[in-house]
Structure 1
């Protein structure tokens, strides 16, 4: 049996075990760049146990079928859930996956018939178990991108969807900053009234246009064509377009969003030459806005930190907390007030990466980080 211990910067941890090498290897690759991922010699605390086991899958499916199950959309597919005190059993027939969470033993069992599906589910729920510990310890999750310097000084980028958080982090990371997060971060005020930040490990999604603008489309296409694999959540249409050299954006069937290339965290460094940061302390905030065809420039911004910048289980739509792992939402007034005291700068960016880089250099200088 293989086992890997995943540990966040403050010591919150979960152990992932499996008789299948793919599962701990996936967890190590997924978390190792941002959190610690080390072979585990003993199991202590919350555990995710994931295996190929059709017999156990059928047995858990039978438990659900014999009960009054609740139907929930989870990871883009229907999931049937049965709750019995501290025991939660769930089945996704479309994915041939079954789950059982035992609160008393702090054990989450995952079984199925496909190694990739099992490994992906194990990593996702290992992250949820660490997330639960971080939230219980007073951390909050922000919709933000973040980059740090070598000393951990961190620039946060806040804004609504489509305002340029990912563009900002990619541009700054390409300019020598370390990437801490593209879309979400953990944040908490420490005993010195500094806002500490930790990464939210995840695959990275970059649109065709953004990759092309930064001369990275051909880098990704060449690595893929040479036989290296991208993150398995990447849609086959994206893979086909990359291999064919087609740069036009692809859209989801429901029209809600772009289908984007998906990179493993380690590929951000090995493919795109962007080093990753494991933690930092926030010293300034950028509020960007992307406007095509305009001249990038600094602006005055009175936006400030808004309630919608905070992320909790009530705003999660793709991965709802079906196992009851997360604590009740906390009061993050102190964090919001501390963030609002940080130097901030508004800016307008275009689709010109060189011009964006120049205005971002000016914005960072204004923050005096």
Structure 2
């Protein structure tokens, strides 16, 4: 049986995804792409290994084992998960996707019935393993988008809906490289703060796609049978098929957006991705309909709330014990990072809905 493998590397740390099904490792290759230097590889493998296969019998065995013995329950990736630990080994099962897991030091095994759920789970856990390695090396995670030009990085911070993705995409359409759309790794380096990407699907609203002149190209691909990220709501696909350009909302008032896998930011939207950068400027935007783009008089600073922590991220609880315990020096490291980033040029800005005016304003601000 042929074993396929994809190695994923960032900041000299690696994780390898292996499978007897090529589409599983191809998904990891496509998903992490240039952001985390993904490439096909062969044995011997680098770093921890995520082996992921179509194996219904193995999956059913773990499911029975968990049902018959004491176990815990958690909501993982919006799906109920049963799990139990036996020393360093953790077994888990998700009935909704028919996925089973077995985690041991250096090896995480995933099995299932269908290739796509297995591929998604393998990429998700590979990212968590690499995240754990990077955090063990002192990297912290900021809720921020980032764009890079000549190595210099503009970090855009703010709450959901503040305009982080909009700012990064406008810069990326103006000659910059996109480093991240929602989250970044940061660590103090030689005379500065280094920045790494956090690969993830990017949610871009229908209205923004239209304003950027990207809507028609995306719709043509959908009509031709190409698909966006599988977590995208069917209502969004239907809206693109029907040619709806206005923002789409669900019954809870949440905007539903097209979801682009990282590689699709390149192939569908024509963006260039960056693998690293050096923090040079902080931007804190807010979007106000009808406003003229401008710098606000009252500036904002980076705070502890801008950093990722377990309390602000509950989609992927650390069921498998991958994240290292927070070191006593972690709080000090975060304070040093905060001070270093707040020492950079900072801009609280207002953006309107005029994309051309916003782009010109941001390009001038970022190039100062």
Structure 1 length-normalised TM? 0.94
Q: Distance in 1 between matches of 2:79 and 2:279?
A: 37
Shift of 1:328: 2.5
What secondary structure, in the 3-state scheme, does the structure 2 residue paired with 1:321 have?
coil
Distance 1:252 1:82, change over 3 A: farther
What secondary structure, in the 3-state scheme, does the structure 1 residue paired with 2:96 have?
helix
Identify the residue that residue 20 of structure 1 maps to in structure 2. Answer: 21
For 1:258-297, what aligned pairs fall within 5 Å after superposition? Answer: 258-297=255-294
Q: Distance in 2 between matches of 1:256 and 1:336?
A: 34
Distance 1:121 1:310, change over 3 A: same
Shift of 1:193: 2.6
Identify the residue that residue 299 of structure 2 maps to in structure 1. Answer: 302
Identify the residue that residue 121 of structure 1 maps to in structure 2. Answer: 121
Residues 206-225 of structure 1: per-residue CA shift (max 9 Å, x gap): 01111111121111101221
Q: Distance in 2 between matches of 1:252 and 1:111?
A: 33
Q: Distance in 2 between matches of 1:248 and 1:133?
A: 42
For 1:27-176, what aligned pairs fall within 5 Å after superposition? Answer: 27-42=28-43, 43-103=45-105, 106-149=106-149, 151-176=150-175
Shift of 1:288: 0.8
Conserved? CA contact 1:298–1:359, under 8 Å? no
Shift of 1:316: 1.4
Conserved? CA contact 1:141–1:185, under 8 Å? yes
Matched residue count? 360
Shift of 1:327: 1.5
Identify the residue that residue 230 of structure 1 maps to in structure 2. Answer: 228
Conserved? CA contact 2:174–2:363, under 8 Å? no
What secondary structure, in the 3-state scheme, does the structure 2 residue paired with 1:320 have?
coil
Bigger CA drift: 39-48 or 162-171?
Answer: 39-48
Conserved? CA contact 1:347–1:359, under 8 Å? no
Residues 166-214 of structure 1: per-residue CA shift (max 9 Å, x gap): 1100111111100000100010001x23100000111111011111111
Shift of 1:313: 2.9
Residues 49-76 of structure 1: per-residue CA shift (max 9 Å, x gap): 1011110011000111122221111111
What secondary structure, in the 3-state scheme, does the structure 2 residue paired with 1:269 have?
helix
Conserved? CA contact 1:166–1:182, under 8 Å? yes
Conserved? CA contact 2:14–2:46, under 8 Å? no
Identify the residue that residue 249 of structure 1 maps to in structure 2. Answer: 247
What secondary structure, in the 3-state scheme, does the structure 2 residue paired with 1:212 have?
helix
Shift of 1:121: 0.4
Q: Distance in 2 between matches of 1:25 and 1:252?
A: 33
RMSD: 1.4
Over 3 Å off, 4+ runs = none
Q: Distance in 2 between matches of 1:15 and 1:98?
A: 19
What secondary structure, in the 3-state scheme, does the structure 1 residue paired with 2:285 have?
strand
